[in-house]
Structure 1
């Protein structure tokens, strides 16, 4: 019988190698128990991993749409608040005009002019509101303030003064009290053309007629802003200007009534136009909500498929990890005993 020489150092090294491999496997199993997925999906799935990658790419695209829709929702909400403020300003002008209809008292007219100036300032502030550094009512010109305020020296003020001066000169009018109701009706028609035509963009607006269009799903886009070139905005400015400039002049009662009634009509058109813009944005809000519901369903479905492909049984992984930890502890014990072996103990 022949015996072979076996070194206890060789046995220790073999045990050490087993422990190192076990520790790596424990780390892998701990990750799988925590995440519920393969620690290395590519190695486990092989060719099937390409399907998992495709599904994850689609999942990322859908989640990106959800993030974009959150911004769109905030933009729409801020735009709706601005339009609501502008609509209330139009209603304030209309209420003030109704209260002063047929009233020629200078102090009452002065108070009315102050109220209307306040409404115009609130309207301009709402029209020029910003969201995330972008002007909401500028259309696609988001870096440009959409509406120029009506003040002394502003283009709109200069244009009105020039038009009124030319009107009086053409009609031989030297005093405001000489203006007739028919002449005032004609002049208001001239001013209306300045606000409904191309001069609007020269005197008042720097906004684009093209609104921002946002993609809310794979095959659906919606307008997510409005702009200061809409009919409601133009008619509000027209109502405010003719009231501010003409109502307090030394006019005959019937002429002042023409100014008042015309301004009321424009204020009412402004309110209607702003409600229409708000309704358009409301439709966009509804479509975004429905798109998000659809996206949530798609994300849930795809996530389920990914989990089916990459998922592991956490209970099985936990059992394997506990078994492996027991084996490692046993290896530590054996290694410790081998290290204590010495020939001296047998001499």
Structure 2
């Protein structure tokens, strides 16, 4: 009978290999326990992996859309706030016209002009509101300030256009002084000379750099909404027209009947502006409501997708926890055996 020996070095090498394998397995199971999904989806799921990836892509798309909706909601909210400010400015002009109607006093007209110019400045500032570096009322021209300042230094193009229009009209009608205007002539000047400057190409040339095409945003897989308005809408034009008429003509040297004609025209235009601004706010309010409903729907869909993905990718937490504990025990045992083997040396027995 022949006996053979086994080197303790060979045993230690085998034990080290066992420890490495156990450590790698423990790392995988610990990660699974933390994330709740399989360590290697492709290896575990096989052909089902493509289904899992498709669902995950859909989930990522919904998350991106929710983030976009949050930005759209903020833009709409900022637009609503600016429109409210503009509406108050328009109401200020209307109230001022009502307050000083029938008053021909020089001081009263100076106050009226100051009030109207102040309201016009507030309106213009609100119209030029920006959000996240984009102008809210520029349509798709978000990098361009939409509305020009009327009372600027040097004089704005709009101011120069008004002065030219008034001079040309008076010259064409042989009028040498404002006091010579009749109510009919003033109505004709307002309706047929000034109004077309605001409703036609003159608006783009002198007042607005905005695009008439509004910003649109996709809020769900099937819904696209207009997420802004622009400075070319009728409400903006009518407010500017009412303000210019009130500021430039009411304090001129005209008789009571002509001044009454100016006041009535300005009042009519500012009423149109207020109605238009209310309409714009209502439209944006509807858009806000649609965004909110779309986000709620996306959240519900995300919950369903997460549940389905977890069903595919998820692990048995109890089984994994048991496996982790077993691996830790094995690893501790391996460390102890390795320590014992390292102490097996002839030097200890000499």
TM over 0.5: yes
What is the distance in 2 between the residues matched to 1:174 and 1:345? 127
What is the distance in 2 between the residues matched to 1:228 and 1:345? 95
Residues 167-176 or 53-62, more deviating: 167-176
Q: Where do residues 1-347 of structure 1 align in structure 2 (5 Å cutoff)?
A: 1-151=1-151, 153-189=155-191, 190-343=193-346
Aligned length: 347
What is the distance in 1 between the residues matched to 2:301 and 2:28? 31
SS of residue paired to 1:200: helix
Q: CA deviation at 1:346?
A: 5.7
1:49-101: CA deviation from partner (whole Å, max 9, x where unpaired):
11111111111111111111111111111111111111110000000000000
Q: CA deviation at 1:154?
A: 1.0
- After TM superposition, the score normalised by the length of structure 1 is 0.97
Q: CA RMSD in A?
A: 1.2
What is the distance in 2 between the residues matched to 1:77 and 1:171? 49
What is the distance in 2 between the residues matched to 1:65 and 1:250? 60
Structure 1's 150 and 345: CA in aligned 2 closer, same or farther, altered over 3 A?
Answer: closer
SS of residue paired to 2:311: helix
Q: CA deviation at 1:314?
A: 2.1
What is the distance in 1 between the residues matched to 2:128 and 2:335? 74
What is the distance in 1 between the residues matched to 2:348 and 2:187? 124
Q: CA deviation at 1:275?
A: 0.8
Q: CA deviation at 1:38?
A: 1.1
What is the distance in 1 between the residues matched to 2:194 and 2:228? 28
What is the distance in 2 between the residues matched to 1:132 and 1:339? 67
1:152-192: CA deviation from partner (whole Å, max 9, x where unpaired):
52111111111111111122212211111111111111211
What is the distance in 1 between the residues matched to 2:100 and 2:336? 101
Q: CA deviation at 1:126?
A: 0.6
What is the distance in 1 between the residues matched to 2:279 and 2:17? 77
SS of residue paired to 2:332: helix
SS of residue paired to 1:4: coil
Q: CA deviation at 1:344?
A: 5.2
- After TM superposition, the score normalised by the length of structure 2 is 0.96
Gaps of 5+ in 1: none
SS of residue paired to 2:219: strand
What is the distance in 2 between the residues matched to 1:40 and 1:339? 36
What is the distance in 1 between the residues matched to 2:253 and 2:345? 123
